[in-house]
Amino acid sequence: MRYAVLSDIHGNLEALTAVLEACRAERVDRYLCLGDIVGYGAQPSACLERLAALEAVVVSGNHEQACLGMLDPGWFNEAARAAILWTREQLSFGDLDRLRRYPLTCMEEPFTLVHATLPRPERFDYLVELGQAVDTLTACRTLMCLAGHTHQACFVEFDRPARRVLRVLTAPEALREVAYEDEPVTRRYLLNPGSVGQPRDGDPRAGFAVVDTAQARLGVRRVPYDVAAAQRRIREAGLPPFLADRLAAGR
């Protein structure tokens, strides 16, 4: 099976459209989405519809939780808070119903999906230290944990019985083609595919990952998209201009 792993789309339909085109070219069989489909960008409903049409497996992100009133908007910075309040107004009852059905974690063998970290997905901690990766990998009950939230791609290989980190990959060239061992007893892997709709690693192109479970190979991809069109929609919607500016910088 070839899986597409998408995270942090953030209402950016232009980026999502480019990514889905690339996924079709790569003959992806199934779509996995790690949350934050909405927030920041100007087309939250359209992004939710596209994922529903693909029958994607979806977990909830902090932006979904905030739109549902499960997370205090005070938790967010000013621009994010403004975007959440705007997004709430845009979502239909059907959209909100959809958001309510997304769990915080889910298992789709050999994957565990979560927006941020395990074992406390509801905290939406940013995984920035190796110790957090170890906690997540220790709590993960499947071969691979898929997590987003930081908007930066990474891959961690963990020796489960020895509780030892064997590999950490963050450089784009290292993430392009990664072989892993399908050894669910001895290995655990963490994959963050980066962000579709608001990359924060200095590369404005949309990011996602493809995992080929038959070949035990995965890769992080970057595809160009119409950034100017996404920026125009954000400005026309009256969202904070900073949210448009940052797309061009990939920050």
Which is closer to Fe ion, CB of 8 or CB of 64? Answer: 8
Task: Give the nearest distance from C-beta 62 to Fe ion in angstroms.
Answer: 7
Binding mask 140-159 for Fe ion (x = CB under 5 A): --------------------
Pairing outcome for strands 217-223 and 178-179: antiparallel
Contact call for residue 201 and Fe ion (CB under 5 A): no
Task: Give the nearest distance from C-beta 159 to Fe ion in angstroms.
Answer: 30
Round to whole Å and give the CA distance between 141 and 190: 12
Q: Of 4, 5, 6, 8, which one interacts with Fe ion (CB under 5 A)?
A: 8
Round to whole Å and give the CA distance between 37 and 31: 13
Round to whole Å and give the CA distance between 208 and 220: 6
If binding means CB under 5 A, how many residues of this protein chain bind Fe ion? 2
- In sequence order, what are the beta bridge partners of 167? 157
Task: Give the nearest distance from C-beta 88 to Fe ion in angstroms.
Answer: 16
Q: Where in 35-74 is the site for Fe ion (CB under 5 A)?
A: 36
Contact call for residues 119 and 141 (beta carbons, < 8 A): no
Contact call for residues 199 and 207 (beta carbons, < 8 A): yes
Which is closer to Fe ion, CB of 8 or CB of 157? Answer: 8
Round to whole Å and give the CA distance between 137 and 134: 5
Binding mask 23-42 for Fe ion (x = CB under 5 A): -------------x------
Q: Which residues bind Fe ion (CB under 5 A)?
A: 8, 36
